[in-house]
Amino acid sequence: MKAIRINEFGGPEVMKIEEVERPVPKPDEILVKMYASGVNPADYVVRQGGNEILKPFLKLPLDLGIDGAGEVEETGSEVTGFKKGDRVYGIPNFLQGTYAEFIAAKASQFAAMPKNLTFNEAGAIPSCALMAWDGIELGKVSAGQRVLINGAAGGIGSLALQFAKAMGAYVIATASPHNFDFLKELGADETVDYKDTNFEGLVNGIDVAFDASPEFNEASRISMAKALKDGGSFVSVQLPYPFSAAVLGILAGKHGEAKMIRRERDAARSLADVAKLIEEGKVKVVISKVYPLEEAAAAHTAVETKHVRGKIVLEIRKEH
């Protein structure tokens, strides 16, 4: 089968389509015939050689891709919830790539994909949806709360915004001004340019601040912490963690909490919750562009701009 593999770290050009062995599922795994994979910042971070957390785990050669959608081809002997032909979306085992014609992965990391989505749409979002959903749960977002989403036009942000609206929150969303209308279409109640002196003074009385930006910026973290009301929560997808003494000091003064979002929690349950919201029409998937597998380098170049609206997808097979 074909998969995108790297034999050296570097720029988008190090990705090559190679003929590799089709995996065999272990007892607790499913073999998924992949139709689409999302393209996520982690993919270019791994391709470049990793960050402080990933580096020790990266041994070449490596297959890229951290999420996707496809059809169950085979089930391991212990798997009960899936059968051949089920349309699923989810995440692979750690560092086993999804830019591949087949993947074998733990069944507990997959769920039935939303019935009203194409493979490209469902494959675009599992990792971002898990991060966004985890952030909403960690922040305990509820109806009537004021929620600030920083980086709301991106993969995680565009879902976090819609999840918060689905919970009944009042959402203040940051992006570059050309994305303000887009954020309003997704349901944002207010829009703010994150470059406006880091929105200090523009946003106040926030119950939950959700940092979904792909750029670490200490000044904007400080602004977000200052915008929280007493007892507010700050959740982040962004390293470094723990936060700086300055941010923690502001939070302590407000009896607030800081939490790092992780996608490893009960993935199947979260993906099923997300699928329900999508099927109810409360959340939509935004795709900027679909690239064929052969154009993975161009897809990476697009995501590395850090200004994609919604998601970029790699189409592995055409859906008929």
Ligand X SMILES: NC(=O)c1ccc[n+]([C@@H]2O[C@H](COP(=O)([O-])OP(=O)(O)OC[C@H]3O[C@@H](n4cnc5c(N)ncnc54)[C@H](OP(=O)(O)O)[C@@H]3O)[C@@H](O)[C@H]2O)c1
Omega before residue 177 within 30° of 0, cis: no
Nearer to ligand X, 161 or 169 (CB): 161
CB of 47 to ligand X, least distance (A): 13
Per CB under 6 A, which of residues 25..84 are in contact with ligand X?
40-42
CB of 217 to ligand X, least distance (A): 5
CB atoms within 10 A of CB 173: 32
Per CB under 6 A, which of residues 242..271 are in contact with ligand X?
none
Q: For residue 247, which phi and psi values (nearest 5 degrees)?
A: -70, -45
CB of 250 to ligand X, least distance (A): 19
| Alpha-carbon gap, residue 68 to 131, rounded angstroms | 15
Evaluate whether 308 touches 302 at the Cβ level (below 8 Å): yes
CB of 197 to ligand X, least distance (A): 13
Binding status of residue 183 toward ligand X by CB under 6 A: no
Evaluate whether 64 touches 2 at the Cβ level (below 8 Å): no
Per-residue b or e along 100-122, where b marks 16 or more CB atoms closer than 10 Å to that residue's CB: bbbbbbbbbbbbbbbeebbbbbb
In the stretch 301-320, what mask flags binding to ligand X with x, by CB under 6 A?
--x--xxxx-----------
Residue 100's nearest CA partner among 144, 70, 79, 128 is 70
| Alpha-carbon gap, residue 142 to 119, rounded angstroms | 31
Evaluate whether 33 touches 100 at the Cβ level (below 8 Å): no
Binding status of residue 212 toward ligand X by CB under 6 A: yes
Candidates 107-115, 123-131, 164-172, 222-230; binding stretch for ligand X (CB under 6 A): 123-131
- Tell me which of 214, 226, 251, 267 binds ligand X, using CB under 6 A: 214
- DSSP-derived secondary structure letter, 11: S
- DSSP-derived secondary structure letter, 95: T
Candidates 98-106, 162-170, 209-217, 268-276; binding stretch for ligand X (CB under 6 A): 209-217
In the stretch 150-179, what mask flags binding to ligand X with x, by CB under 6 A?
xx-xxxxx----------------xxx--x
Residue of this chain nearest to ligand X (CB atom): 154
- Tell me which of 109, 213, 233, 270 binds ligand X, using CB under 6 A: 213
Residue 237's nearest CA partner among 319, 139, 305 is 139
Evaluate whether 172 touches 193 at the Cβ level (below 8 Å): no
Binding status of residue 111 toward ligand X by CB under 6 A: no
| Alpha-carbon gap, residue 293 to 37, rounded angstroms | 9
Give the total of residues touching ligand X (CB under 6 A): 30
- Tell me which of 8, 185, 215, 264 binds ligand X, using CB under 6 A: 215
Q: Could you list the residues that contact ligand X (CB under 6 A)? A: 40-42, 127-128, 131, 150-151, 153-157, 174-176, 179, 194, 212-215, 217, 237-238, 303, 306-309
